[in-house]
Amino acid sequence: MNWQDLSFTQIEGAFAVGPMVAILPLGAIEAHGPHLPVGTDIWIAEAMARVGAEKLGKEGFSAVVLPALAYAPAPFADRHAGTLAIRPETLTALVVDIAAAATARGIKILVLANAHFDPAQIQALAAAVEQSRLSAGVRVVYPDLTRRRLAERLGEEFLSGACHAGSYESSILLAERPELVDEPVRRRLPPLPVSLVEAARKGQETFAAAGLDLAYCGDPAAASAAEGRALVAELGAILAEAVRAELG
């Protein structure tokens, strides 16, 4: 269920069922190649949150999905049209405030479903988790998909780091929002095996510096809706496992 779709009395009733888990999707507004919308990360994060909540619900948890945070630090994409970036410290403060507000309303665990992997985003979220736990004792769960043990569950392209608007993200959009994918353009795009992880290690700070003039890497033409559905199921499983691990 979605928090914003409920009345306050329905939310009160949901809390009566048992401890509530709230899931916060985190995306970005940034260039995702010439074939995907700039809101791609939002749709992916929301899909992860939705399936994760469904899995938790089947296991007896009371799980609710919060409205997504659409804005994020995006220095890699900041020179491309359509990108709307915020400062990392703004995101950290916002997540800390949301965590505190959710806890004050009786949420037992706040889960971060993040689909935006700019290094600035990862660092901002790590800081938010640490601050939340230290300042207010808030239980924040953050399955960081950039960690190898999780990344390897999402396919070779994702693990390689060459996955921005490539097969990984294009597949999920084909499964979740196919009407937003420019199919003729997607099918014509050649593979571009440039790892953004390696680019960041080399000190490259923009898509252009890394050779991503069209704001994509990986292999968009290899994407499929079937692969997207499998990836979303895996993302949801990762989220549910993170909650179970937090509860011991």
Q: Categorize the per-residue pLDDT at 134 as very low, low, confident or very high, splitting at 50, 70 and 90.
A: confident
- Nearest C-alpha neighbor of 27 from the set 74, 65, 70: 70
Q: Helix count (H) and strand count (E) of the chain?
A: 10, 4
- Confidence (pLDDT) at 19: 63
Report pLDDT digits (tens) over 193-221.
999 999 999 999 899 999 999 999 999 99
Q: How far is CA 171 from CA 121, 225, 235, 240, in A?
A: 23, 5, 13, 22
- Confidence (pLDDT) at 136: 62
- Confidence (pLDDT) at 240: 97
- Confidence (pLDDT) at 10: 85
- Confidence (pLDDT) at 133: 83
Q: Are 217 and 162 in contact (CB under 8 A)?
A: yes
Phi, psi angles (nearest 5°) of residue 195: -80, 120
pTM higher than 0.75, yes or no?
yes
| Number of Cα atoms under 13 Å in the Cβ half of residue 29 | 10
Strands 107-114 and 62-65: unpaired
Looking at every residue in the chain, the average pLDDT score rounds to: 94
In 3-state terms, what secondary structure has residue 222? helix
Task: Classify residue 18 by burial, with Cβ atoms within 10 Å: 0-12, 13-18, 19+.
Answer: exposed
pLDDT (average), residues 167-192: 98
pLDDT (average), residues 177-196: 97
Report pLDDT digits (tens) over 14-69.
776 666 899 999 999 999 999 999 999 999 999 999 999 999 999 888 899 999 99
Sequence ranges of the domains in the chain: 3-246
Query: What is the CATH architecture assignment of 3-246?
Result: 3-Layer(aba) Sandwich (3.40)
